[in-house]
Structure formats: structure tokens, C-alpha cells
Chains A and B, each alone.
Chain A
Amino acid sequence: MGFDLQIFLTQLFSPVYLQGALLSIGVAVVSLIIATVIGFILAVARGSKSAVAQWLSLAYIWFFRAIPALLVLLIMWNALPQLIPGLREWGYNPFIAASVGLGLVEAAFMAEIIRSSLSSVDEGQALAGRALGMKPGSVMSKILVPQAIRIALPPTTNEFIGLIKYSSLASVISLRELLTTAQVGVNITFRYAEYYAVAIIYYLVIVSIITIIQMQIERRFHWASSLPTKKRRALKLVGAAR
């Protein structure tokens, strides 16, 4: 029973895998959006003057860093509908459960990325904005965030790739994402090598596309070299090391 190229190729171009891959990407995208929004709020709360806000932010990060993502997914899909009867009748499905669950966990990590990115923007920037009479929201959205995005981009891309892989955890809540698709095929045919090889190809293609997109976006945020080359290189290394 060697490697059957025919089975491999048939599966590689089957719509089932493509659907699984799209589901994986979908979960990763939605959870990253949720994580970024919550993470931003956590980061701002952490840097605020209010002790209560700081404490709440720290508590959130502490809690979701401690709980395994798998457990969060099981709670989201199994426990939550018990606590909120009728949830599933309102259209609650494994996709939503996985996206929200992973988003909640990921927010704890995004909070740190966003906080460090915002604090790495030179303090003279906010000062200049304030001196121009800009309100705190404007200073944040027009001055700090655009500059922080550039710094946050490499580590955020790493987190996104991580989320693509984490989405395979959603198999436990019966979401037919990429890895589950392979597993289902294996269960029927016992052709482990061929089905897993297809999954590998898909993951490689997805991550390659993400990397290309990252490079494109980085180029857009490259508004000439305001950072000395050395520092930029160092930042890139930090991003790559995460």
C-alpha cells in the first residue's frame, strides 16, 4: 500500500477540501477581528488612569491565558447553550462558537501586542496631536494607531497563522474545517498518507498567501524609512521570533 498519487490528486482538487480550507480561514479571520477589537479595548484599559479598568484588563488577560483554547471551545459549544436555552435555535452554530471562542482567547495575546505597539510610538507624537487641539479619540485614531499598526503587523500575522492552525481544534465541536475534512476522509478510506498530505498542501498554500499579503501590507505602511535600518531589522526579527 504505497502512496497513491491518484487518490492524492483527486482529493487535492475536491471541493470538500476547499470548503474545509475556507472554513478554517473564515474562523481565523473572524476570531482575529474579535481578538483585535477586544485586545484594543484591553490595551487601552491597561494604559488608562482608572485602577478598575487596569484591573479588569489584567484579570481578562490572566484568565484567558490560563485556559486552554480547547476547553474554551467545548464551553462555547456545549456549556453555553445549556446556560442560555434556545441559543441554538437562534442560529448559534459551530462556526460562531469557534470564532467567538478563539477570538476571546486570542484577545489576551493581541492585547499585549497592541499595548506594546502603541507604547512604542514616540511620546512626542501624542503631544504634538494634543498641542494641535486634537481630542483623545482623534489622537488615537489618526496619529497613534496608524503608526502602531506598522509595528503590530508582523506579530499579528504570526497570531493569524496560529489561528488558522488553532481552528483545527474546532473539530471537537463538529466544525468541518480543513483538518476535520482530512480526518473524515481517513476514517472512511484509511488512506492516511494521501489525505494528510493534501491537508499539508492546503496549510502551506494558505500560509504562503498570508505571507505574501503581509509583505504587501507592510510595503504600504512603509512610508519611507523613518526608523533607522538597524532598528527596523531588529523589529522584524522580533516579529519573526514570536
Chain B
Amino acid sequence: MNEHTNAQAADAQAADAQATQPEYTPTGALVTDIPTLEVRDLHKAYHGNEVLKGVEFKVRQGQVKAVLGPSGSGKSTMLRLMALLEPADKGEILLEGKRIGVNAAGRALPEAQLAVQRRDVGMVFQKFNLFPHLTAAKNVALALTAVQKVGRAEALERAHTMLGRVGLSDRADHHPSQLSGGQQQRVAIARALVLNPKVMLFDEPTSALDPELVGEVLEVMEQLANDGMTMIVVTHEVRFARRAADEVTLFDGGVIVEQAPPEQFFDDPQHERTKKFLSHVH
């Protein structure tokens, strides 16, 4: 009996030692064991149609996770729920280990309080959703002035810096309608980045783009990944997933079918469903 307890304690100690082993992101930030963003047993249905059927998913600091899957498999819904844009029917969303989106009793928070929690999560949409009445710089600066109460001049300065990071310094004073799709999406990325989110969610960021404009957006995203940004990318871009992701996930029918590092996922998939999916996209 005693022996058994001792063995358990030793096991726990070993696990502790493993957990405390320091791990660093490419930028040198310490990776903790607590995932930056995690969902547990996530469920969501629309009009009785169950889109998410108990999804378990997490991303750790500095990690880039690519999410693949056929249309309607629930991958975009998971992002919307993670970004607190819609309430989950069941399950938990944790940001750095702390449950978000709900109060202590598990009830959905009112919109104004959700707004505060959303500031840690950046979101990039398929259709860019830039504000057409504002210039690129003002699109990026808006959340700084409206959310972080930064002064107008400083906000615009930071917006210009951020636009420089996505290679659009010379387009700062253009309205979205004067920009190409690729440029608009890069502005949208700058707009989300300027708030220093803990994690960036990309919802099919290149799906609405002409093929020749996809590259410039993926380039910005890869740069971001190299800089150590924590990212979840829902995408159909297999090449991006292979090159930039630490882990690739296949969604189908509201559940996660397979999760693996890109080499294994693409070259040696374990599940029949994954093999079938890859045979279609390759």
C-alpha cells in the first residue's frame, strides 16, 4: 500500500519536473504549461442542427495551429465562439487558464463585459470587414481610440507603424475601396494586431482573395508566426499549414478527427477521414 503511494508520488514528481522544464517561443518568451486558449467539450447548434459536437482544442503560447476541414465542419464556428462573438451552448473557453465568456454561475456575460474580454483575442475575417468609411490608418487606429482610449495622434502613429509591419506604409491614407483584396486583408491583420492580442484567430483569411493575392497575405501571416504570435488559422491553404503550422487539425462533422504535426499529418495521416480529405485537396 505504502509502496504504491510512494510510486504515485514519484510519478507526480516526475510529471512536475517535466512540466517545469523551461520551453521557449522563437522570440524567447517562456512557454508555460497553461494553454493560451483552450476549449473544452464545446457544443453549438443552429436551429437544432449541431455544428460543434464536443470539441477539445488548445493552443499554447507561440504555437501556430492550422485547422483544416470541409465547409460546414464547424471550424469557423469554433473560432467565433473562441472570439466570444457567439455564446456556446455547452462547454468552456479558457484564456490563459481563466474561463471567459461567462460569469461565475456559468451564464453568458452581457455584451459590454464580453467586449472587454474580447480585447485579448484578435480576429481576422474571410471578408476582411474593414470599415469602408475610414482610411486604412484610421481602421487600424479606431480600436486604440475607442477601446484603449489612446489619444488620436498616438493612435494614428501606432497605426502607421503597424501598417508598416504588414508592408502598407504607403497605403495608410487610402480607403478600403481603393485597396486590393490582399491589401485589405493585410490592413485587417494590422487592425487586429495593434491591440496586442494574446492570440490571433484567422477565419479563412485568403478564401475571398484572387489567387494572385493570396501569397502576400500568407507572407504576412508567416512573418507573424516567426515572430512568435500565437495563432489559430482556419484555412484551405495546405502549403501554409505545412510550412508555418506547429500542428495541423482536421475538423469534420463538428468533431476533431486528427491532430498532428504537419509532417505526420500530411505524410502519414492516421485516420481514414484525413487520408480521404487530403486526397481531395492535394
Contact = CB atoms under 8 A, between A and B. Distances in A.
Contacts of A133: 115-119, 143, 147, 195
Contact of A127 (B125, B142, B147): B125
B147 A138 contact: yes
Contact of A135 (B112, B133, B142, B191): B112
A134 interface: yes
Interface string A214-233: 00000001011110000000
Interface string B97-122: 00000000000000110011111011
Contact of B175 (A129, A130, A131, A226): A226
Task: Classify the interface of chain A: helix, strand, loop or mixed.
Answer: helix
Q: Chain B contact residues (Cβ within 8 angstroms of A): what range?
A: 20 to 34
B192 interface: yes
A142 B195 CA distance: 17
Interface residues of A, number: 24
A122 B83 CA distance: 19
Interface string A119-136: 000101101111111111
B123 interface: yes
Contacts of B143: 132-134
B266 interface: no
Interface in B163-193: 175-178, 188, 191-192
Contacts of A134: 115, 142-143, 146-147
B12 interface: no
Contact of A226 (B83, B176, B188): B176
Interface string B23-40: 000000000000000000
Contacts of B119: 132-133
A143 B142 CA distance: 10
Given A131-B85, A134-B146, A223-B132, A124 B177 contact: no
